Structure 1
Amino acid sequence: MPRIDFYLLRSAKFRKREAFVCALCQKIWQKHRVYIHTENAARSHQLGDLLWFFRDDSFLPHVVLPSPLANKTPVCIGHQTQTVQDLRPVLINLTPQVPAFFEQFERIVEVVTLDEPARSQGRERYRTYQQAGYPPEALTEV
């Protein structure tokens, strides 16, 4: 059963959300493989660019899917609706809906900003997980 964590960000800005995701990946990638699910190709590439320059003193090895290096890279970013080819323990969902393939992950991270559309979509995802029998375990405000 996947563990589902929701993070509520005090800022509604897109950049703040993505910076938080980069910081979270910085903590996770050395121990667990990560798949970041975005809404579209533009968001995937935007996040990929941000991961290159997130911090001056660090590097987050990542690829934007599709990539022949996906199986060898700890962080993958994608927007396709089909399942990820190899099982990655951690899914960071940046889309408004619950991905249909969420059950193949050990941990799901949802990042919600405080603007009303994002909060409403976050509540809907929370209910979707609950109704599927996977109640979120943590609700953390940052």
Structure 2
Amino acid sequence: MTHATFYIIDETHLAADSDYQWHFACSQAALSYRQGHKVYLLADSKAQAEQIDEYLWQQDPDNFVPHNLIGEGPRGGSPVEIGWPGRRHSGRRGVLINLAQEAPNFAVTFSQVVDFVPCDEKLKQLARERYKQYRQAGIQLKTAAAPETP
């Protein structure tokens, strides 16, 4: 059964880091990788996926996470694969980290889903819709406060 956690992001997170949401998504990908999971990080767009890829390349060598953009890297992808809507991940992966505005219809193929509730009202409403879609798909849901720093 798939389990999803929605992390609630508030104004204090964004005041400290305007890109907090995807920095936190990257830290969740790194944590999942270190726990032995293969991760699919679904960006909202190809441009955002490229930004995330660049951000991960800039991490300290001690914090390096093997990753690639979808369609690049080794056959079957790296432990952390970064994609965007309209592209499908390669192979079986345990963790989906969703930064897209819509719930991917393949979320149920993962054991864990990480999603976000931004503080912007329009984006918050989109998160509510994703929550409903996940619930209708039979995914077990919970919410949690995002940590102060990613």
Structure 2: segments with no counterpart, 5+ residues:
none
User: Amino acid of the residue matched to residue 42 of structure 1?
Assistant: A
Question: Which residue does the alignment assign to 1:87?
Answer: 92
Please give the TM-score of this superposition, normalised by the length of structure 1.
0.89
Distance of aligned partners of 1:121 and 1:55 in 2 relative to their CA distance in 1, 3 Å threshold: farther
CA-CA distance at 1:114 after TM superposition: 1.1
Please give the TM-score of this superposition, normalised by the length of structure 2.
0.84
Question: Which residue does the alignment assign to 1:47?
Answer: 52
Structure 1: segments with no counterpart, 5+ residues:
none
Distance 2:143 2:51 in 1: 27
Question: Which residue does the alignment assign to 1:5?
Answer: 5
Distance of aligned partners of 1:90 and 1:70 in 2 relative to their CA distance in 1, 3 Å threshold: farther
> Which residue of the other structure, out of 34, 39, 63, is the alignment partner of 2:39?
34
Instruction: Give the count of matched residue pairs.
Output: 141
1:76 equivalent in alignment to 2:85: no
Question: Which residue does the alignment assign to 1:20?
Answer: 24
User: Amino acid of the residue matched to residue 78 of structure 2?
Assistant: T
User: Amino acid of the residue matched to residue 91 of structure 1?
Assistant: L
**Deviation string for 1:72-112 (max 9, x for gaps)?**
51100011425323010000011111101112111111022
Q: Does the CA-based 8 Å contact 1:71-1:86 persist in structure 2?
A: yes
Q: Does the CA-based 8 Å contact 1:37-1:77 persist in structure 2?
A: yes
Q: Does the CA-based 8 Å contact 2:77-2:90 persist in structure 1?
A: no
